Copies of this chain bind each other. A is one copy, B any other.
Amino acid sequence: MMDARNASLVLDRPGAADASETGTHLDDLATPALVLDRDRMEANIARMRRQLAAHGVPLRPHLKTAKSIEVARALLGSNRGPATVSTLREAEQFASAGITDMIYAVGISADKLERAVALRRRGVDLALLLDSVEQVQLVAEKSRAAGVALPCWIEIDCDDHRGGLKSDDPEILAVARALDRQGVPLCGVLTHAGEAYNGTGGAEDLAAAAEQERRAAIAAAGMIRDAGLPCPGVSIGSTPTALFGQNFEGVSEVRAGVYVFFDLVMAGLGVCRPEDIAVSVLASVIGRRRDGKAIIDAGWMALSRDLGRSLRDGAPHYGAVCDLDGRALPGLAVVGVNQEHGIVGTIGAAGGPVPLEIGERVRILPNHACATSAQHERYHVVAGSRAVEAEWPRFNGW
């Protein structure tokens, strides 16, 4: 820490001999900057693949965390997909990179149908999501007017997290019948155990959340099938439930996204270890305060305002502090943020002045990888050394 700049011995680690393509190192990269540890990312991807392969269920990665063509290629089993997206911008960007099997997993609205039609016309098998007869009507009208099929999934609410119909809601059948009557193809039912992020965590609770998610989807599919309508797909998933689920019977595919990078929320739930987190924000120490805290040049613009689980844990912060080589500096966190300033202080049992000097560099682990990554235009990719081996662009917007 105090002597972090002498720690370049790490360059002797295996892999460090790889020449940097960009000629930059974490020691001289302009800060703040988003750093992606490729080794960790690949291990995270491999872990999810192993888990689902063991259960024989296909994976449909969610690309909203990454929003990067290069990360998508690492995530997907094939260049064509399957994939999940959260915006039509993602669908369009990934379609241009050759991905043709996607679910746009946010409830559809009228203003988005024209672009969905355009994607279908490009040969992209884009499926939509809805949970109301009003939306069926919108989709059916557009489909007829355009002469283009717009297949849909019905969203099921398995845990009161946000959208979807409860698995016992007869409205599920009303929506399925409306799709059938209007000639809109029904892909199946889709749910997401988002409340698993808000629980106490631990293997047992996460396995229970996974089973609740599976049962809700199966029940909804059963309601539709019992009425004599086809319901081919049963799509479930979230990173915690995908990794801790023990039974995937009746499930046709699993969606998950944040596992590609992991974050402090996932570590807090026991889903990963902090040392599995693949993205961090590189920052410079630009000030020292009388009260022993240090100031870095990464504020909410670089870290996001996401408090993750820290608020409920009684120690609100915006990220955990690591040294330049990604090793945790225990007890140090970003305890305050302004637009371009972060204030590093001690949390938990740690105390005393923050052992960081002006000019020193640190890496901040994110509470929420999706939110922190979204604040940046590119990943600076490292693997086993401080050399930046690549810059991978990312995109936001809708």
Contacts and interface: CB of A to CB of B under 8 A. Distances in A.
Interface of A: 28-33, 64, 86-87, 106-112, 115, 131-132, 134-135, 138, 155, 157, 160-164, 166, 169, 194, 284-291, 295, 297, 300-302, 304-307, 336, 338-341, 343, 357-359, 370-371, 374-377, 396-398
Contacts of A110: 284, 359
16 contacts: A28-B111, A30-B398, A31-B398, A86-B339, A106-B297, A107-B287, A109-B297, A110-B284, A134-B359, A135-B286, A162-B341, A164-B287, A300-B371, A305-B306, A305-B307, A376-B397
Given A166-B290, A377-B397, A107 B297 contact: yes
Q: In the assembly, how many copies of this chain are there? A: 2
A341 B377 CA distance: 22
A110 B301 CA distance: 20
B86 A340 contact: yes
Q: Is the interface of A mostly helix, strand, loop or mixed?
A: loop
A135 B180 CA distance: 69
A286 B336 contact: no
A87 B340 contact: yes
A284 B106 CA distance: 12
A289 B169 contact: no
Contacts of A163: 286-287, 289, 295, 341
Nearest to A65: B339
A317 to B, nearest CB: 13
A136 to B, nearest CB: 11
